[in-house]
Every structure is written in structure tokens, then in C-alpha cells.
Amino acid sequence: MTEQKNLLGGPDPTYLPENEDAYRMLAESASPAEVAAAHPTFSLAWAMLADDAFEAGRTVESYAYARTGYHRGLDALRRAGWKGHGPVPWSHRANRGFLRCLAALARAAEAVKETDEAERCRQFLQDSDPQAYEELKSA
């Protein structure tokens, strides 16, 4: 992967490390719950659980899954050098789980009338990567 140079002087993009074992488990038809149990820091599994719960009408459960994945993702971002702001590129596969959790948290927060939190999450998503925001805003 080539490092993108930020010509505006802001922080460099943050790229989360890949978890090949977790991706392998998903490819081999493990459930998101099995993957989350085996790899609790893997935000994509939490995002999948949040999406499944939301689609099934289990909004509070979706909120809890999304919040778990979001916080696990924040921890991973900080370990990767993120300082609380700056790009988190959607184009990097390992970042997508965190970004999906952020979108799922916005959606679930809106559904439980946590409108301030929903707006903060949407803004955070847009600030992290406008492409992610466009991809996920209607998800």
C-alpha cells in the first residue's frame, strides 16, 4: 500500500492492521457471533451483528453491537497512531469494520431518539472519509 501524502498539512491517514484469521473465518461461513467471540477486537463482526439485529427489528441490540464495535475500533485506531482526528480511509479493508460500526451506531442512535449522538456519529463518519459517508449514509 502506498502512503498518501496530506498536502493540506493535516494528520496522515490511519490504517488499521488486517486480521486475516477473522476474514478467513467469515469466508469459511463462520457466523459474525463466532468471529466476534474469537476476535473481539474485529469491528467488522460487530458491524455485521449490528446490521443483522437492526434488520430484524432488534434496535437496542443493534445499538449495543454497534457501540461495542465502535469502541473496539477506537482502541485499534489509537494503537495505530490516530490522535482523535484525521482520515480513516474507507478504501483500506481493515478500516471498514470501524466505519460500518460508526454508521450503524448513528442509525441505531437515531432509532432510539439519541439524535445528538446520531449526528455526532454521522459527522465523525463524514470527517473520517467522505466516501465512507456516501457509501453508508443510507445503510
Instruction: Please tell me the distance from the alpha carbon of residue 67 to that of residue 43, in angstroms, as a whole number.
Output: 10
What's the start-to-end Cα distance of the chain, in Å? 28
Return phi, psi of residue 113, to 5°.
70, 25
**16 by DSSP, 3-state: which?**
coil
Burial class (CB in 10 A: 0-12, 13-18, 19+), 17: exposed
pLDDT of residue 2: 45
- How high does pLDDT run on average in the chain? 94
Q: pLDDT grade, residue 6 (50/70/90)?
A: low
Amino acid at 123: Q
Cell, residue 87: 482520515
Whether 5 has a pLDDT exceeding 90, the answer reads: no
Q: pLDDT grade, residue 9 (50/70/90)?
A: confident
Segments in the chain forming alpha helices (H): 20-27, 32-38, 43-55, 59-79, 96-111, 115-128, 130-136
pLDDT of residue 52: 98
pLDDT tens-digit profile of 70-85?
Answer: 999 999 999 999 999 9
pLDDT of residue 1: 44
pLDDT tens-digit profile of 83-134?
Answer: 999 999 999 999 999 999 999 999 999 999 999 999 999 999 999 999 999 9
Q: Locate cell 470527517: which residue?
A: 127
Mean pLDDT of 10-37: 97
Q: Locate cell 460508526: which residue?
A: 102
Does residue 2 or residue 67 have the better pLDDT? Answer: 67
> Cα torsion for 76, 77, 79, 84, to the nearest 10°?
-140
pLDDT of residue 93: 97
Q: pLDDT grade, residue 4 (50/70/90)?
A: low
